[in-house]
Amino acid sequence: MINKIPQAAVPRLSLYYRVLVESRGKDYVSSDELSKLTNFTAAQVRRDLTYFGQFGTPGKGYEVEALKKAILSILGTDKNWDVVLAGVGNLGTALLSYKGFEKQGFKIICAFDNDLRRVGKTLEGIKIQDISELGNTVKERNISIGIVATPGEGAQEVINILIKSGVKAILNFAPIRPQVPPSVGLLNIDLSIELERLAYFLTKSKS
């Protein structure tokens, strides 16, 4: 049932889901409407939705509730996911207090830092633990998603511990490109690089 979906289509599915939630009240929604709501082309919407089955009714569009359920199941967001956070500086704190995750089924259930001034404090109901306890806790609680919000130094080491303890997918905010085995999913969010992409856009626009 779950087939070959182009990598590039996955974030679009997330977005379709989001606008479907927002369009509550409607029974059907057309690719054209989804196009307007997401800024993707209608053809792209239709193509994306056929990757995992035929949901549309010609003449009417897509049934909102059925499509929502289908996307959830494809993405795996119909389950709840426990998440571990490594690094509770400014960014880590922001992530801890971000309410958007839980709504999508992601729950940060423990957080670690190596700064003794932070260890032991409780933020958003979570007691920050010493980084030395990271491996054991992750193993015990059988966590498969990790968020790394440490400085670049030490990030690879933290990631090694996460992987050795069973984490299978990592969202990395540290400005490094960590080495991970192919069995582990890795997404890097690299703020400087995003700004440099903007700088390139601005530079290029002027010529």
Q: Which residues bind a copy of itself (CB under 8 A)?
A: 2, 5, 10-11, 13-15, 18, 38-39, 74-77, 79, 81, 83, 89-91, 93-95, 97-98, 100-101, 103-106, 144-145, 168-171, 175, 177, 179, 183, 185, 187, 189-205, 207
Among 16, 17, 20, 31, which residue sits at the site for DNA (rule: CB under 7 A)? 31
**Residue 58 binds what, of DNA, a copy of itself, none (CB under 5 to 8 Å, by partner type)?**
DNA
**Helices marked H in the chain:** 10-22, 31-38, 42-50, 64-75, 90-97, 100-103, 134-141, 155-164, 191-205
Residue 37 vs 42, nearer CB to DNA: 42
Provide the minimum distance between the beta carbon of 55 and DNA in the complex, in angstroms, as a whole number.
Answer: 5
Residue 60 vs 98, nearer CB to a copy of itself: 98
**Residue 38 binds what, of a copy of itself, DNA, none (CB under 5 to 8 Å, by partner type)?**
a copy of itself
Residue 33 vs 130, nearer CB to DNA: 33
Does position 27 bind DNA by CB under 7 A?
A: no
| Cα separation of the two ends of the chain | 48
SS3 185: strand
**Residue 124 structure tokens:** 């958003």
Query: Looking at 7-15, 82-90, 169-177, 194-202, which segment touches DNA (CB under 7 A)?
Result: 7-15
Q: Is 172 exposed, middle or buried (0-12, 13-18, 19+ CB in 10 A)?
A: buried
Q: How many residues does the chain have?
A: 207
The interface mask with DNA, positions 54-93, x = CB under 7 A, is xxxxxxxxx-------------------------------
The answer to whether the CB of 130 falls within 8 A of the CB of 114 is: yes
Nearest Cα residue to 82 out of 103, 109, 102: 109
The answer to whether the CB of 19 falls within 8 A of the CB of 38 is: yes
The answer to whether the CB of 129 falls within 8 A of the CB of 111 is: yes
Interacting residues toward DNA by CB under 7 A: 6-9, 30-32, 40-44, 46-47, 49-50, 54-62
